[in-house]
Amino acid sequence: MKRKIENLLLEFARIHRFMMRFLREVVSPPYEFKEIIRQCYEIGWKSFPLISLTGFIVGFVFTKQSRPSLEEFGATSWLPKLISIAIVRALAPLVTALIGSGKVGSQIGAELSSMNVTEQIDAMEVSGTNPTKFLVSTRILATTTMIPVLCFYVAGIGLLGGYLSIAGKDDLSFLAFFTQVFEAIAAKDIFAMVLRAVVFGFTIGFTSSYIGYYSSKGTEGVGKAANAAVVASMFLVFIEELLIVQILSLVG
């Protein structure tokens, strides 16, 4: 028991050191612009096909499932407002973060872990390159910027899915749908969405980088790191969602 508590405290100390190293490296020159752009491409652009499909399906299915409840009250005309608030406030950031945890988190966890196992990180270190700056900071910055971008995209494509679901049954023009959507969304909803996406993006990048960087040796370590990166990122995303909802509802 004592050993377990000791190990837990040591783990927290290591996480703290990793965070401090990231913060120090991210602000100090030279800046790794080229590598950040490459990571944004890997993390952001290459996630577009998966995120497009997921976002569209979520919007379409959510709208379809919401219709019967509103029909009972004869309020199907409220569907655009309902789905816009649901997608912007909750679904878009959450869906983006969960897909991001699965695709990007596992990719970062496995990549860094594999580099660790094959001593590529040590090779970088001994050749005078700072691996925290080059490998870790760039990935965390890329997820922190690309998850919000993807989140806006998911919101858009989710609303499109919602519109197509409504248009299949009702006579509603594209313009009328989006007019109602923008009437329903307030600036604070957009702010809440961006806040969530930034927090989730940072969490995915930091968690998966940390797990990959400190993975155990051997090929088994790579599999475990990829798995742990996804599980830990998703778990933290849900905890953060809970906290953010509470804080935003207190703030109003």
Partner 1 sequence: MEKSKANINYDDVVIHVDKVSKSFGDLHVLRDVDLKLYNRENLVVLGRSGTGKSVLIKLISGLLNPDRGDITVLGEVVNRLTDKELRALRQRIGFSFQNSALYDSMTVRENLEFPLVRNKRNLSRAEIDREVEEVLEGVGLSRAINQMPSELSGGQRKRIGIARTLILRPDIMLYDEPTAGLDPITCLDINSLINEVQERYNTSSIIITHDLACAKMIGDRMVMLLDGKFERQGSFAEIFDTDDERVRPFYDYNFIV
Contacting residues toward partner 1, per CB under 8 A: 30, 115, 118-120, 122-130, 134
CB-wise, 134 or 178, nearer to partner 1? 134
CB-wise, 125 or 170, nearer to partner 1? 125
Q: Please give the DSSP secondary-structure letter assigned to residue 168.
A: T
Helix 138-167 / helix 174-184 crossing angle, nearest 10 deg: 130
Angstrom distance (rounded) from CA 149 to CA 198: 9
Shortest distance in whole angstroms from residue 169 CB to partner 1:
49
CB-wise, 43 or 199, nearer to partner 1? 43
Angstrom distance (rounded) from CA 201 to CA 142: 8
Integer CA distances (angstroms), 238 to 24, 52, 62, 134, 206, in order: 28, 22, 20, 29, 16
Shortest distance in whole angstroms from residue 24 CB to partner 1:
9
3-state secondary structure of 84: helix
Shortest distance in whole angstroms from residue 123 CB to partner 1:
4
CB-wise, 188 or 217, nearer to partner 1? 217
Shortest distance in whole angstroms from residue 120 CB to partner 1:
5
